[in-house]
Amino acid sequence: MTTQTALIEVRDLTNAFGPQVVHQHLDLDVMRGEILGIVGGSGTGKSVLLRSIVGLQRPTAGSVKVFGENLLDLSPEKRSQVERRFGVLFQSGALFSSLTVLENIALPLIEHAGLSRDEAEGLAVVKLALAGLPESAAYKYPDSLSGGMIKRAALARALALDPEIVFLDEPTAGLDPISAAAFDQLILTLRDALGLTVFLVTHDLDTLYTICDRVAVLSQKRVLVAGDLTTVAATKDAWVHDYFHGPRGRAALQASARLTENN
């Protein structure tokens, strides 16, 4: 359930790589319990924003607070404590190819929670089930998994430490429509069951219409608009119009309406 408590606060953020300025004076709040979709054209810095929030990218200027803490200002010990409260699913899955799925999920439990290998692997099986994977997948290596199974295995690892916030970078990219729809429903179910807050970078219109409470559009080096889909789609901006009112946008809206009627 969404509340008006901001778990993530981005203020006056600037990200520059040499002469290339990706973000400038960017502001954004992510509220507790919501699924926030981040969209924007190519080069607008969607993944850079995610990396800035989780502490993998040091901003050129501005501040990023997660749970009221600026990760970059914390001691290593305090930062590790805060980082345990969120999980990240990277676009490619980023599983360790030399480890089985079970070992991939158990690793953060061993390294950060101090569990024994047996304890960690026991919990890893539970996380696999949460992500919708059969126990038989536990003993496979990433190169033997389908794209959808890799995404679910990576999600299971992101959930390993019982996070409060989950960051998802293009989680349905490369999936067929049926697998993508199933993954969307999984995220929605997990949000409702576990009380997660979800920060979701995506270009998938079906995902936006199916599971997102709010959408933030990155444009002109900042957040152009953030709000519910009706508000965002009505924004007078050429990219927003083409994205939400083009053929794919209309199809996603119609599919969402049919789903709402059926439920």
**What's the confidence (pLDDT) of residue 52?**
94
**What's the confidence (pLDDT) of residue 256?**
60
**What's the confidence (pLDDT) of residue 113?**
85
Could you give the residue ranges of the DSSP H alpha helices within the chain? Answer: 46-54, 76-83, 101-111, 117-130, 147-158, 177-194, 205-211, 229-233, 238-245, 247-262
For the chain, list the domains and their CATH numbers: 1-85+167-174+183-263 (3.40.50.300), 93-162 (no CATH)
- 217/224 Cα distance (integer angstroms): 6
Strand pairing report for 6-17 and 214-219: unpaired
Token representation of residue 176: 């067929």
51: left (phi over 0), alpha (psi -120 to 50) or beta: alpha
Residue 5 near residue 32, CB atoms below 8 Å:
yes
Strand pairing report for 6-17 and 20-31: antiparallel
- 146/161 Cα distance (integer angstroms): 25
pLDDT in tens, 51-93: 999 988 899 999 999 999 988 888 888 988 888 899 999 877 7
Q: pLDDT by residue for the chain (263 residues), tens digit each?
A: 556 799 999 999 999 999 999 999 999 999 999 999 999 998 899 999 999 999 888 999 999 999 999 888 888 889 888 888 999 998 777 888 899 999 999 999 998 888 899 999 999 999 999 998 988 999 999 999 888 889 899 999 999 999 999 999 999 988 888 989 999 999 999 999 999 999 999 989 999 999 999 999 999 999 999 999 999 999 999 999 999 887 666 666 666 656 556 65
Token representation of residue 96: 């360790």
**What's the confidence (pLDDT) of residue 2?**
58
Q: Give the SS3 label for residue 42.
A: coil
**What's the confidence (pLDDT) of residue 147?**
83
Token representation of residue 87: 């999980």
Q: Which amino acid is at 238?
A: A
